[in-house]
């Protein structure tokens, strides 16, 4: 199970200005090209964020949804202007040749894809801008983001109802896995905007593990510490290979539907204190794209014995400092310009909080919030995941070179 939630709080400062997404919103946009570019940008951002979180918490269990964080920040980008717009454009890895209008069409295409067909039964992502009734939304923004904007009363009289409404929306979008995300105590009386993002995933393994085969086994946290954990087992044909480029053994576990899978990256044995964190440092956009390509290569089909731990991880992450260390600019400072939503007075984002939860067991996974290779097949046909590892939950529905990283994590220590 995987759950994820991102909440951004915003407050008011004064200013006046009026315009919409671009100087020429009615011009022809780049359509499919923009969507392809956005998919590439998402993966670049996802890896950058994952590496930033991992470097700050090398010994902890980590679980985030880069896609959901990206989508939340993309909404902030649509509401931004001036220097803040320029900073977010660069921070989100958006191509210089694309502007807000191009990105808006791509954003809409992606929402349609995730809200239809078999995909919807597995993944649910949603954004919501809870805006104070004291604000007046620009007509064009209401038209563009009618599904995302909801007016609420943050004043003393209406605050309790606003909190209940936000928590109700979060619970609904995460299948009731995240409750009471915000509280009246956590909202400043000057709050004018809460930007919320929730993601939920529930997938059944294409080939399930038999509970009767689950046995207690050792998990080696580091060279000085080991703990006993329930280890799931099965022998089946999976994509299984070793990446010399990454320095890791990799297996791809597909969910029913074949488009979404969980990649497990097991670092080569070493005496490092934090081997999974070291593996994460070695990953870059090229390496990850190569790994994704290998995950669909039939030459990597292998009848393999797999042993992996059952695990649960739930994390709340204050993102503000991490995003600022990555170079997000002044988004969370008084100098930021988000007047693209209301035209004025200026709304300033105060903080970003991310909450995510994952459960991996014999039946599958439930979660909520959200170059040339030298790889070779591994002799022995076994994958024993008994030490810290990285896991990537990927959607490979589109062109494989534009796969989406839905969730990412490091499992370091079963006792945490």
pLDDT at position 18: 40
The predicted pLDDT at position 13 comes to 39
Structure confidence at residue 223 (pLDDT): 81
Phi and psi at 238, nearest 5°, equal: -130, 165
Q: Tell me if 221 sits within 8 A of 33, measured CB to CB.
A: no
pLDDT digits (tens, 9 = 90+) for 377-389: 344 589 999 999 9
What H or E segment, with its residue span, contains residue 11?
strand 2-12
CA distances from 313 to 65, 95, 200 (A): 13, 35, 14
Give the integer Cα–Cα distance in Å for 182 and 25. Answer: 36
Contact 385, 264 (CB under 8 A): yes
Quick: pLDDT tens for 192-244: 888 787 777 888 899 999 899 999 999 999 888 899 999 999 999 999 999 99
> How confident is the model at residue 271, as a pLDDT?
76
The predicted-structure confidence for 136-156, as pLDDT tens digits, reads as follows 888 888 888 888 889 988 888
348 φ/ψ angles, rounded to the nearest 5 degrees: -115, 130
Q: Where are the domains of the chain?
A: 31-116+123-201+314-358, 211-310+371-411
* Positions in the chain whose pLDDT score sits under 70: 1-35, 109-122, 189, 258, 345, 368-380, 398-401
Q: How far apart are the first and last CA of the chain?
A: 18
Fold for the domain defined by 211-310+371-411: Alpha-1-antitrypsin; domain 1 (2.30.39)
In this structure, CATH architecture of domain 31-116+123-201+314-358? 2-Layer Sandwich (3.30)
Global confidence as pTM:
0.85
Closest residue by Cα to residue 332 from 91, 81, 20, 11: 11
Helices 275-282 and 32-56: angle between axes, nearest 10 degrees: 150
Q: Do the Cβ atoms of 289 and 401 come closer than 8 Å?
A: yes
Compute the distance between CA of residue 15 and CA of residue 365 in angstroms, rounded to an integer.
Answer: 47
Joined tokens for residue 147 = 């599904």
Distances (CA, A) of 349 to 25, 360, 374: 26, 34, 46
Rounded-to-integer distance, Cα 293 and Cα 190, Å: 49
């Amino acid at each position: 199970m995987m759950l994820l939630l991102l909440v951004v709080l915003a407050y008011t400062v004064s200013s006046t200005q009026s315009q919409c997404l671009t100087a020429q919103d009615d011009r022809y946009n780049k359509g499919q090209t923009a969507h392809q570019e956005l998919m590439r940008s998402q993966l670049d951002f996802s890896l950058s964020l994952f590496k930033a979180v991992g470097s700050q918490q090398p010994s902890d269990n980590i679980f985030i949804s880069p896609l959901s964080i990206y989508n939340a920040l993309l909404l902030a980008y649509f509401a931004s202007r001036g220097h803040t717009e320029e900073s977010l454009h660069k921070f989100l890895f958006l191509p210089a040749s694309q502007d807000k209008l191009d990105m808006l069409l791509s954003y809409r295409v992606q929402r349609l894809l995730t809200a239809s067909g078999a995909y919807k039964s597995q993944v649910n992502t949603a954004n919501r801008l809870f805006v104070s009734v004291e604000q007046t939304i620009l007509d064009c923004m209401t038209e563009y983001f009618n599904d995302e904007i909801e007016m609420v009363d943050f004043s003393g009289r209406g605050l309790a109802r606003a909190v209940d409404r936000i928590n109700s929306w979060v619970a609904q979008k995460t299948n009731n896995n995240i409750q009471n995300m915000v509280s009246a105590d956590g909202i400043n009386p000057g709050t004018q905007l809460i930007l919320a993002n929730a993601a939920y995933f529930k997938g059944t393994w294409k080939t399930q593990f038999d509970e009767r085969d689950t046995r207690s086994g050792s998990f080696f946290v580091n060279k000085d510490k080991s703990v006993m954990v329930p280890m799931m087992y099965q022998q089946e044909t999976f994509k299984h290979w070793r990446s010399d480029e990454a320095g890791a053994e990799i297996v791809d576990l597909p969910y029913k539907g074949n488009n979404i899978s969980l990649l497990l990256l097991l670092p080569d044995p070493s005496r490092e204190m934090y081997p999974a964190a070291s593996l994460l440092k070695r990953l870059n956009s090229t390496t990850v794209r190569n790994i994704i390509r290998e995950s669909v290569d039939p030459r990597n089909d292998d009848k393999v014995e797999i042993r992996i731990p059952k695990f649960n991880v739930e994390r709340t992450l204050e993102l503000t400092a991490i995003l600022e260390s990555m170079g997000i600019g002044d988004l969370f400072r008084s100098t930021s310009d988000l007047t693209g939503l209301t035209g004025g007075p200026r709304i300033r984002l105060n903080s970003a909080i991310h909450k995510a939860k994952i459960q991996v067991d014999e039946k599958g996974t439930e979660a909520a919030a959200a170059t040339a290779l030298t790889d070779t097949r591994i002799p022995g046909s076994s994958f024993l995941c008994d030490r810290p590892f990285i896991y990537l939950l990927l959607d490979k529905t589109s062109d494989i070179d534009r796969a989406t990283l839905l969730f990412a994590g490091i499992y370091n220590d079963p006792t945490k």
